[in-house]
Chains A and B, each alone.
Chain A
């Protein structure tokens, strides 16, 4: 079993990705800005990868809610990713 599960969030604008990075790391997530996987989008900017401990029960919906609550617009949350 891996120690962490990974997900990725896609944004319309890199400014939103940076805003989300700040909010999610503030909420205790481990995050990293990465090139957007080509299979998910043709966007040429970057996406936000996040990691949660394998034993936690975090869901994509929870991450979406966290972003929405902070007023951060996003395109999609893929979690877990890669599947």
Chain B
């Protein structure tokens, strides 16, 4: 068993975290342990202030002018469900793509059984989405369009500006699943005209698990979007009905303060290091991986290097099951990656790797060029033994 690890599973969750994250989380528990927004005493206020700081930092990073339009959830999945289950009624038309994660496909499948018309625009085998076909599917009367900003198997990035324009023309609304891009790819909810942006706090944003959220665009009227959960908010306690104002409407129950404290520290790290610098670094690692794997005997790489993408590269090795490769990379080389279907059977069908799946290398911002070279060497050795 190799003692050192090279962590290439950043697309599932980031590791390690920036150094301040753990400190911010212990400080929250030790020095600000009150229930945020529930009382006027100093520990409650201290907790609320830490969570608000995270809200402000994220609003800056994601281009949300009003921090109160940023809703915290436990993950991107919950944020996606708020919008899908809240917006869509039987008879509504929703357009999505063949490049979606189960976080989108499972709620949509359930909604289809209730009479929602779900239109899936197929992606291309190389991971790209033919935008003209998506545009053609967004007919007038479409209620909602749901699309991943980048899929989690090939990392291919959707040309968002073109999609936004098509959604606007049809008078629909757009939900962007940014689980794979928030913190790694520049986003500006207000300027890009995104209606709903669901994000994960623990992937590209480098925070702890149990954090995520939904940014709501400034033109969205939330009175038509009921919350997924109702309950205590620390506000309007005399009323038995859920408040309508943001963020309380969608934030019932005691929030994950300790997680949000860590997320705040992580986002401040990203703001300090600079998203452009992180993106450039990850792009360099992606190129190295793509080129190195493509040049290796017996290795097939999926997706394409010519279109924009996140640092996510999927491949298979001739003659070896992906599970076998994953085990050997971990045991013999300390290389940690995710093999299989990545909770995205729809994407694997699109790229032709269903049901066997792929081996996925997804380096984060702390991975070095040297580590990528070692990982490539390991793949060559494993492939050579097949």
Contact = CB atoms under 8 A, between A and B. Distances in A.
Interface of A: 12-16, 18-19, 22, 33-36, 42-47, 71, 73
Nearest to B70: A15
Given A43-B235, A44-B237, A14 B246 contact: no
Contacts of B238: 42-43
B247 A15 contact: yes
A16 B247 CA distance: 9
A19 B49 CA distance: 9
Contacts of A12: 235-236, 243, 245, 248
A14 B51 CA distance: 11
22 contacts: A12-B236, A13-B245, A14-B36, A15-B48, A15-B55, A15-B248, A18-B48, A18-B49, A18-B52, A19-B67, A19-B68, A35-B41, A36-B40, A42-B237, A43-B235, A43-B238, A45-B39, A45-B40, A45-B234, A46-B40, A46-B48, A73-B68
B325 to A, nearest CB: 47
Nearest to B53: A18
Given A15-B247, A73-B245, A45 B38 contact: yes
B152 interface: no
B228 interface: no
Contacts of A36: 40
Contacts, number: 72
Dominant secondary structure of chain B at its interface with chain A:
loop
B248 A13 contact: yes
Nearest to A34: B40
Contacts of A22: 56
A3 B238 CA distance: 36
Given A15-B52, A33-B45, A73-B245, A46 B237 contact: no
| A-B pairs with lowest CB-CB distance, top 6 | A35-B40, A14-B37, A18-B52, A46-B40, A44-B237, A42-B238
Contacts of A16: 68, 245
Contact of A46 (B39, B56, B233): B39
Nearest to B218: A71
B68 to A, nearest CB: 5
Contacts of B65: 71
Contacts of A45: 37-40, 234-235
B66 interface: yes
A19 B38 contact: no
A15 B234 CA distance: 11
Given A13-B37, A14-B234, A15-B68, 4 more contacts: A13-B235, A13-B248, A15-B48, A18-B52
B68 A13 contact: yes
A13 B40 contact: no
Contacts of A14: 36-37, 48, 234-235
Contacts of A18: 48-49, 52
Interface string B26-52: 000000000011111100110011001
